């Protein structure tokens, strides 16, 4: 049984990757951060009692800012594949917390690479690593962006990810590690964090539809993104680690749409006119913006045989259907007299 370790298993991608690897017959270990409340919503449906015979999912407390903890987990799990998905992944938040973002997203992968190098050197067991790189690294370089496009990060998040990218390349060349960079364009889903723009829109529009919300405040509607579905993108991560040689791959649909167009699709699906409900709040503008992302995933298509299966309209359909169900549940609870807390996040 192949044993994989996933950092960021409680995140959007971590939850889909865990599902995918379990379905492939892997033993999956995930790193979780200690929190004062449970933070495992996205993987609760996968939970297994670790004492049960035949359990294949195990969770460990660790943090990318704590190198010794990472080392302990690697030593005890002895995985053959490590997927580094953990990150402070919100671009706008990285402007508010630049040092922390650089620590987790830039130095975190370095801590992991060092731990892998040590454990692999001591045990002789090869550990393959996937690093979650991003189209934000291209930032200001115009589309279409491919593996040969120059990096021009436009945020502390993007800059930290560029550092991680180069470290992976360097550890590959210096120490022969089987370490690969995925350069993934935006991917969304029903599990997307609610402060990323697509999910913010589908959550708000469905609540507006049911009379639970009046207005949706957004920032820059002109930005263009290449949006795919996370389920498709975790398949690509797995494929990268099955190659004889490590490498760097762009993963994208090759199609881009503006935020305004995403808004229009979502509101149209619900029979609503966006002009009546959408307002601009300049607090959501970023100090520097990434204007246009559209990826060229030719290398991944040819070398990995990877293809996206979910297009923009199916993505919108799934997210709207899911969030409409959530809004209906909220309405039922409110009608029954339950107090349902309003949630929000500062400037995101
Ligand atoms: P996400 O939903 O924000 O998940 C991030 C994960 O990282 C969560 O499990 C989070 O734990 C964990 N984490 C955050 N800080 C940590 C720390 N200091 N130590 C350990 N774990 C930590 O992100 P995602 O969308 O799944 O993205 C996965 C990875 O791909 C990230 O590295 C992201 O930067 C990158 N990426 C994402 C996209 C995209 O469009 N989704 C595109 C390109 C690259 P909690 O649950 O406790 O917060
Ligand atoms: O949904 P977003 O916050 O995603 P962003 O900044 O593109 O980053 C995501 O994709 C990256 C891959 O390219 C990942 F690496 C990263 O971890 C993350 O998953 O914003 C998308 C666009 C931006 O141009 C933003 O300015 O939407 C614009 N936007 C407009 N109004 C908004 C809002 N973004 C957010 N989050 N909230 C708004 O109200």
pLDDT at residue 342, rounded to an integer: 74
Per the domain annotation, does 324 fall within a domain?
A: no
Ligand 2 nearest-atom number relative to CA 219 = 31
Identify the nearest ligand to the CA of 189 by its number: 1
CB 100 within 8 A of CB 88: yes
Ligand 1 nearest-atom number relative to CA 186 = 40
Tally of domains in the chain: 1
Alpha helices, H only, 176-281: 197-209, 230-241, 259-269
* pLDDT-derived band at 341, boundaries 50, 70, 90: confident
The enclosing domain of 231 has a CATH number of 3.40.50.720
pLDDT digits (tens, 9 = 90+) for 20-75: 999 999 999 999 999 999 899 999 999 999 999 999 999 999 999 999 999 999 99
Per the domain annotation, does 11 fall within a domain?
A: yes
Least Cα distance to 105 among 152, 163, 173 occurs for 163
Per the domain annotation, does 45 fall within a domain?
A: yes
H or E element in which residue 116 lies: helix 108-123
Per the domain annotation, does 285 fall within a domain?
A: no
Per the domain annotation, does 330 fall within a domain?
A: no
Per the domain annotation, does 208 fall within a domain?
A: no
Per the domain annotation, does 120 fall within a domain?
A: yes
User: Residue with the nearest Cα to atom 6 of ligand 2?
Assistant: 91
Identify the nearest ligand to the CA of 137 by its number: 2
Q: What domain range includes position 8?
A: 3-189+227-251
Per the domain annotation, does 18 fall within a domain?
A: yes
pTM of structure: 0.98
Q: Ligand 2 mean position to 11 CA, how many Å?
A: 16
User: Residue with the nearest Cα to atom 7 of ligand 1?
Assistant: 86
Ligand 2 nearest-atom number relative to CA 87 = 17
Least Cα distance to 289 among 252, 259, 251 occurs for 259
Active site residues: 134, 136, 157
User: Residue with the nearest Cα to atom 34 of ligand 1?
Assistant: 89
Q: Cα separation of 324 and 315, whole Å?
A: 14
How would you label 3-32 residue by residue, b for 16+ Cβ within 10 Å and e otherwise?
bbbbbbbbbbbbbbbbbbbbeeebbbbbbb
**What is each CA distance from 133 to 45, 109, 151, 215, in whole angstroms?**
27, 11, 12, 34
pLDDT digits (tens, 9 = 90+) for 270-328: 999 999 999 999 999 999 999 999 999 999 999 999 999 999 999 999 999 999 999 99
* pLDDT-derived band at 1, boundaries 50, 70, 90: confident
H or E element in which residue 304 lies: helix 298-304
H or E element in which residue 23 lies: helix 12-23
């Amino acid at each position: 049984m192949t044993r994989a370790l996933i950092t960021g298993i409680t995140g959007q991608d971590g939850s889909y990757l865990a599902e995918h690897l379990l379905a492939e017959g892997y033993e999956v270990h995930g790193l979780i951060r200690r929190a004062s409340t449970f933070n495992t919503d996205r993987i609760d449906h996968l939970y297994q009692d670790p004492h049960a015979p035949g359990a294949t999912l195990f969770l460990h407390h660790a943090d990318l800012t704590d190198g010794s903890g990472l080392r302990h987990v690697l030593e005890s799990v002895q995985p053959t594949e490590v997927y580094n998905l953990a990150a402070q992944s919100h671009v706008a938040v990285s402007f508010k917390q630049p040092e922390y973002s650089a620590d987790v997203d830039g130095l975190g992968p370095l801590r992991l690479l060092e731990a892998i190098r040590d454990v692999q050197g001591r045990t002789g067991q090869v550990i393959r690593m996937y690093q979650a790189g991003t189209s934000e690294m291209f930032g200001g370089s115009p589309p279409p962006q491919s593996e040969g496009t120059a990096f021009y990060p436009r945020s502390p998040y993007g800059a930290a990810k560029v550092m991680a990218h180069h470290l992976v390349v360097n550890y590959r060349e210096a120490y022969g590690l089987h370490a690969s960079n995925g350069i993934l364009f935006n991917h969304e889903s029903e599990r997307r964090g609610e402060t990323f723009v697509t999910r913010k829109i589908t959550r708000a529009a469905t609540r507006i539809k049911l009379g639970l919300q009046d207005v949706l405040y957004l920032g820059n509607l002109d930005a263009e993104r290449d949006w795919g579905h996370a389920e498709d993108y975790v398949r690509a991560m797995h494929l990268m680690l099955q190659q004889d040689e490590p490498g760097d791959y762009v993963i994208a649909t090759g199609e881009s749409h503006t935020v305004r167009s995403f808004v229009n699709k979502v509101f149209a699906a619900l029979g609503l006119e966006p002009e009546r409900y959408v307002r601009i709040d300049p607090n959501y503008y970023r100090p520097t913006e990434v204007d246009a992302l559209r990826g060229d995933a030719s290398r991944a298509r040819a070398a990995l045989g990877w293809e996206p299966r979910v297009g923009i309209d199916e993505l919108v359909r799934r997210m709207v259907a899911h969030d409409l169900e959530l809004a209906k549940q909220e309405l039922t609870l409110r009608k029954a007299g339950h107090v349902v807390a309003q949630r929000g996040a500062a400037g995101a």
